[in-house]
Amino acid sequence: MKTSPSPAAGKATMGLAQVAVTGLAIVATFIAATVIGAAPGDPSRVAMVFPPWWSASRAFVAAASVGEIVGEGGAPFVVIVHLDPVTAARGARRVGALFILGADPRSLCSPAASETKL
């Protein structure tokens, strides 16, 4: 006699697969943004990371409204732009970016310019 898997087992497997795909997308985004942002030097060059459900065209239009697009990321929702470093975060948030990553990977661990003390 053949036994078929229960519907609950199928749903659990699908749920686990969705979590795995989402986790992989998040990790891939961080890796892509870090690799793209690995070029030293220009603090005005940033990777703007938009919501993953946005299309590439929506992300590009939003990024172009606040800065000059200089490239695309490893995912369709990551756009590389030149922005004014002082107002970059405010402008990026205004157009829907979830976060921005600086061109220098060390910028992920350093305080923002407004937080540094002289």
pLDDT digits (tens, 9 = 90+) for 32-74: 665 555 545 566 788 889 999 999 999 999 999 998 999 888 8
Tens digit of pLDDT for each residue in 65-106? 998 999 888 888 999 998 877 777 788 889 999 988 875 554
Show Cβ contacts of residue 74 under 8 Å, excluding neighbours closer than 6 positions: 28, 29, 31, 32, 33, 35, 36
pLDDT of residue 74: 83
Mean pLDDT for 5-28 is 70
pLDDT of residue 14: 65
Nearest-angstrom CA–CA distance, 13 and 32: 28
Residue with tokens 């929702």: 77
Whether pLDDT at 109 is above 50:
no
What tokens appear for 83 in the block?
């922005």
pLDDT of residue 112: 44
CA-wise closest residue to 79 among 31, 54, 111, 46: 46
Q: Could you tell me the pTM of the whole model?
A: 0.55
Nearest-angstrom CA–CA distance, 4 and 89: 53
Nearest-angstrom CA–CA distance, 41 and 29: 22
What tokens appear for 70 in the block?
């200089």
At 23, the amino acid letter reads G
